[in-house]
Amino acid sequence: MAKIHELIVDLNSFEFKKTVDAVLDPGFTDEIKLLSSVDVHVELYKDKDSIIVTGSVRTVVEDKCARCLKEVSIPIEGTIEATYANQDSLPLIEEGAGDDLENLLPLEGDLLDLSDRVIEAIIVEVPQKVLCKKDCAGLCPFCGANLNEEPNHCCQKKAEMPDDWHIAISELKAKLKS
Ligand SMILES: [Zn+2]
Ligand SMILES: [Zn+2]
């Protein structure tokens, strides 16, 4: 992935707090398809051995309806929460800290690249199963016709299904009855 200089923070450039505001081009990543630019607002706080990062991300993601495969745009409002800690203090923090510190990351060098945090914040907000509408009728399992566009679709191909398929179905039906 290309480096986005707005998202690379030089930790020597501030003492306690730094704010990063950026508007990223939708093409900044090819991990997700974005339909609009990405508004990023991040605040970094310097602690003794760590950097605490909080922020928000806004964009619009394109995904496909799980039933009819139509493209759907999903407005995203994600949050960034992470703590970067020095390698030396990492094992200490990890012990007994449990799941609370899932977002604990090692601090490497003086430059902090926030691009992965931005992408993560977007990806976790995309629903597992996207639907174009709650009652999407999906596609005809036989010919692939969009049943939202053809509500009265009566499939020609259904009649052409091989005989053994019909036999299998009737056997299954018989089994369920017994
Ligand atoms: Zn759909
Ligand atoms: Zn059909």
Q: What are phi and psi of 71, to 5 degrees?
A: -70, 135
Ligand 2 centroid–CA 137 distance in Å is: 12
95 φ/ψ sector (left φ>0, alpha ψ -120 to 50, else beta): beta
Q: Which two tokens stand for residue 175?
A: 């089994």
Provide the pLDDT confidence category of residue 176 given band limits of 50, 70 and 90: confident
Ligand 2 centroid–CA 168 distance in Å is: 20
Looking at residue 149, the DSSP 8-state letter turns out to be: T
Ligand 1 centroid–CA 67 distance in Å is: 5
List the one residue out of 72, 69, 62, 73 whose CA is nearest residue 145. 69
State residue 62's pLDDT score: 95
Residue in the structure block whose two tokens are 């199963």:
129
Q: What type of residue is 40? A: V
At 83-127, the pLDDT tens digits run 998 877 665 555 555 555 568 888 888 999 999 999 999 999 999
Ligand 2 centroid–CA 150 distance in Å is: 10
State residue 89's pLDDT score: 65
List the one residue out of 126, 154, 113, 119 whose CA is nearest residue 63. 126
At 63-87, the pLDDT tens digits run 999 999 999 999 999 999 999 988 7
Ligand 2 centroid–CA 70 distance in Å is: 17
